[in-house]
Amino acid sequence: MKITRFEDIEAWQEARKLVNLIYHAINGSEKFQSDFRLVNQLQGAAVSTMSNIAEGFSRRSNKEFIQYLFISKASAAEVQSQLYVALDQNYISKDSFEQIYNQAETVSKLDSGFIKYLQSQSYKPKQLK
C-alpha cells in the first residue's frame, strides 16, 4: 500500500487507538480525573505518539522523519511508565493497564519498524550506470 497521507501510516493509526484508550481510562474514573498533573502528562505523552508521526511525515527528508519517529517511540515509553502510577494509585484496573501498556508497545514496535525501513531507504548506495 502506498502512503500518501499520514493517516495511511499504521503506526499513526495505532497511536490514535492509544490516545482513545488513555482518554477512556481517564474519563472512567473521577479519582483519576482529579489527578491533574498525571492526566496532563499522560494525555500529552499519548497525543505526542500520534502527533510526532504526523509531523515527521510532513518533513522533507527521511532523516527528519526518523527523528520524529524516535520521539513518538519515546512518548510511548513515557505512557507505559506513567501507567504504573495510574495502576499504583488504583486509578485503573490491571486489565486496563495491560491493554493500554500493550497498545503503547504496539506503537513503539511499529515506530521501530518504520525507522528501520526509512534508514534502509536513506542509505542505499546509488547504482552505477
For the chain, give every domain's residue range: 9-120
Ordered DSSP codes for the chain: ----SGGG-HHHHHHHHHHHHHHHHHHT-HHHHT-HHHHHHHHHHHHHHHHHHHHHHTSSSHHHHHHHHHHHHHHHHHHHHHHHHHHHTTSS-HHHHHHHHHHHHHHHHHHHHHHHHHHHHHTPPPPP-
pTM of the model: 0.92
Q: Which CATH number fits domain 9-120: 1.10.357.10, 1.20.1440.60, 1.20.210.10, 3.40.50.1370?
A: 1.20.1440.60
Q: What are the tens digits of pLDDT across the range 87-103? A: 999 999 999 999 999 99
Q: What are the tens digits of pLDDT across the range 10-44? A: 999 999 999 999 999 999 999 999 999 999 999 99
